[in-house]
Chains A and B, each alone.
Chain A
Amino acid sequence: MELNGLDLKWPGVLGLGTLLGILLAYAVYRHMSRRQARAAAAVANSSALTELPEYRRALRLHRIRMAVLAASAVLLGGAALVGAARPLDTTIDKPQTRSRDIMLCLDISGSMAAYDATLVSTFKTLVTSFEGERIGLVIFNSSAATVFPLTDDYDFINDELDSASRALTGDPEYDSFFAGTFNGRGTSLIGDGLATCASSFDKVDLQRARSVVFATDNHLAGRPIIDVDEAGELAKAKGVRVYGLNPEEDGADDEAMEMRDIVTGTGGRYFAMNDQAAIKGIVDAVQLQEATLIDAASRSLYSDNPTLPIALAGIGLVGVIGASRRWAS
Chain B
Amino acid sequence: MTTTLLTKVKSKLFVHARRKSRNLLEGEYASVFHGRSLDYDDLRDYVPGDEVRDIDWRATARHQAPLVKRYVATRKQNLMLVVDTGRGMAATTRSGEPKKSVAIAAAGLVGYLAQRHGDLIGLVRGTADSTVAHDLRGSEAHLELLLRAVDTSTVLDGGQSNLATQLRWIVRNVRRRLVLLVVADDKELDPALDELLRRLHVQHEILWITVEDADPTVIDGDRTAYDVADTYTLPTLVRLDPRVRAAYAASVAERVRRTSELLDRRGINHARLGSSDEVVATIFALLERQRRARR
Contact = CB atoms under 8 A, between A and B. Distances in A.
A55 B223 contact: no
Nearest to B255: A48
B28 interface: no
Which among A46, A52, A53, A327 has the highest number of chain B CB atoms within 10 Å? A46
A52 B250 CA distance: 11
B87 to A, nearest CB: 8
A48 B252 CA distance: 8
A297 interface: no
Nearest to B240: A327
Interface string A32-62: 0000100111111111111011110011001
Given A41-B219, A43-B91, A50 B234 contact: yes
Interface residues of A, number: 22
Interface stretch (B59-67, B133-141, B168-176, B210-218): B210-218
Contact of A48 (B87, B223, B248): B248
A326 interface: yes
A45 B185 CA distance: 9
B224 A36 contact: yes
A32 to B, nearest CB: 9
Contact of B248 (A40, A52, A59): A52
A129 to B, nearest CB: 70
A36 B221 CA distance: 11
Most chain B CB atoms below 10 A, which of A48, A55, A327: A55
A240 B219 CA distance: 91
11 contacts: A36-B224, A41-B225, A42-B225, A43-B216, A44-B185, A44-B186, A44-B227, A45-B88, A49-B217, A55-B239, A58-B241
Given A43-B219, A45-B213, A55-B248, 16 more contacts: A39-B224, A40-B224, A41-B96, A43-B91, A43-B213, A44-B213, A44-B227, A45-B88, A45-B187, A46-B216, A49-B248, A54-B241, A54-B243, A55-B239, A58-B243, A58-B244
